[in-house]
Amino acid sequence: MSSERAALAPERFVLSDGTIYLDGNSLGAMPVGVPAAVEDALHRQWAADLITSWNDNGWWQLPARIGDRIGALVGAGPGQVICGDSTSVQLFQTLVAAARLRPGRTVLITDGGGFPTDQYLTDSVARLLDLEVVRIHPSELARHLDARTAAVSFSLVDYRTGELFDLAGVTAATHAAGAVMVWDLCHAAGALPVRLDEAGVDLAVGCSYKYLNGGPGAPAWIYVAAGLQAEIDLPLTGWHGHRSPFALEQHYAPAASIEQARIGTPPLLSMLALDAALDAFDGIELSAVRAASLALTDQVIAYADEQLTRYDVEVVTPRAASRRGSHVSLRMPSAYEVCQALIARGVIGDYRAPDMLRLGLTPLYLSGQDVDRAMAELRDVLETKAYQAVEFARSSDHPVT
């Protein structure tokens, strides 16, 4: 694949000269409009306008407005996505709500290799509602679906390997068994076209600090299909989700819209930063993002196959484009130390235990030339054994890659 492929919109991001950033699947780079938006939020909206900003600067409407902007990136029509709280909170919301939609059913199915938070929360919901958790790989779903299944919850892209699962096919199979489908889109939103409405997905969640570039701690979001909003029973019933929040009534009555998925006061400063960050997608089709992403991941895979096998490097990510997200995972000895050695050279990827180097390919700001340079640095680190230097050894004082 040609190393001449240009990044789609590098001018829309703030990146240090000489740094090759391959960790946008963990924390996206900062879009150029964010600093001014945060400055305005601090000095005008908060410091000067104070509490009037809830009305005069549209703070109250912001979760829904951002929700619709994110919805457009994940194939959701208006009024089905709302922004706020963390991914963990939103996943708890959807798992409990999904089980409540199927009373009498006793099984939650999830991915045994899924992100730990997803698994911890599934276990917690199961304890809370007296359900059984069944852990499988998504490819095994058909053998486990039956009349006991209340809900199925998978991540669309495996956070370790980059494997992409079949959103439409898995959703259809889940519905055929009468169960509710919940998707975690943290490693998909903003990286590839997702068609929630078209696939008939029931519930979904996602973060906004990865490919959506919302910044550290940026609020997550929740999708509730329009057809479920009249019957869904969400477990966290805060006053912002009340149908008449400023009536301050004693008993809860949910809003008759996606607004019922609001809980309490949202993190406005982070949300305003996210709103500005989403401008990076203006005028860019996700089909173009996907095509460029596949070209860059192809480039990494081809280089690893041709140049790195002699160093016991193995490509873990599926080679088929239809089964691949936007990061490539390479299994190798001393992966942690290799990752640290690359960071010291200005090539920032990340490590996942026990032996994987993860390279996120974000085509909005990464070019084919960037990838070539990064892979050449990786080869040199392996060839010279630079990763064996004492400063790259694992340390309890440096737990984050």
As a whole number, mean pLDDT of residues 366-390 equals 97
Predicted confidence (pLDDT) at residue 401 exceeds the cutoff of 60: no
User: What pLDDT shows up at residue 360?
Assistant: 98
Q: Is the pLDDT of residue 285 over 60?
A: yes
Active site residues: 115, 184, 209-210, 358
pLDDT at 132: 98
Do 349 and 14 touch, CB atoms closer than 8 A? no
Nearest 5°: phi and psi at 242? -70, 150
How far from 303 is each of 329, 359, 373, CA to CA, in Å?
13, 13, 11
Domain positions in the chain: 10-31+285-392, 34-281
The string of DSSP letters for 149-165 reads EEEEEEESB-TTT-BBP
What's the mean pLDDT in 349-364? Answer: 97
pLDDT at 187 exceeding the cut of 90: yes
Give the pLDDT band of residue 122 (cuts 50, 70, 90). very high
Token output for 317: 């990510």
Beta bridge mates, 348: 21
Binning pLDDT at 50, 70 and 90, where does residue 394 land? Answer: confident
Over residues 17-22, the mean pLDDT reads 95
pLDDT at residue 397, as a whole number: 65
Angle at alpha carbon of residue 362, lines to 77 and 12, rounded to 5°: 80
Helix axes 368-384, 286-303, angle to 10 degrees: 30
End-to-end CA distance of the chain: 29
What CATH number is given for 34-281 in this structure? 3.40.640.10
Q: Which CATH architecture has domain 10-31+285-392?
A: Alpha-Beta Complex (3.90)
The predicted model scores a pTM of 0.96
pLDDT tens per residue, range 139-172? 999 999 999 999 999 999 999 999 999 999 999 9
| Numbers of helices and strands, H then E, in the chain | 12, 15
Task: Tell me the pLDDT of the chain averaged across its residues.
Answer: 96
Average pLDDT over residues 202-220: 98
Cα–Cα distance, 211 to 207 (Å, whole number):
9
Burial 151-178 (b: 16+ CB within 10 A, else e): bbbbbbbbbbbbbbbbbeebbebbbebe
Q: What pLDDT does 395 receive? A: 78
Identify the pLDDT of residue 67.
98
Place 308 in a pLDDT band, splitting at 50, 70 and 90: very high
**Axis-axis angle for helices 87-100, 116-129 (nearest 10):** 40
Rg, C-alpha atoms of the chain: 22
* pLDDT (0 to 100) of residue 399: 64
Average pLDDT over residues 300-320: 98
pLDDT of residue 4: 76
Question: What percentage of the chain carries pLDDT values higher than 70?
Answer: 98
pLDDT at 63: 98
Q: Give me the mean pLDDT over the 270-289 stretch.
A: 98
Residue 2 has pLDDT above 60, yes or no: no
For the sheet containing 107-111, what is the strand order? Answer: 81-83, 221-224, 203-206, 180-184, 149-155, 107-111, 132-136
What pLDDT is attached to residue 1? Answer: 43
Lowest average pLDDT, out of 2-11, 27-36, 311-320, 361-370, goes to: 2-11
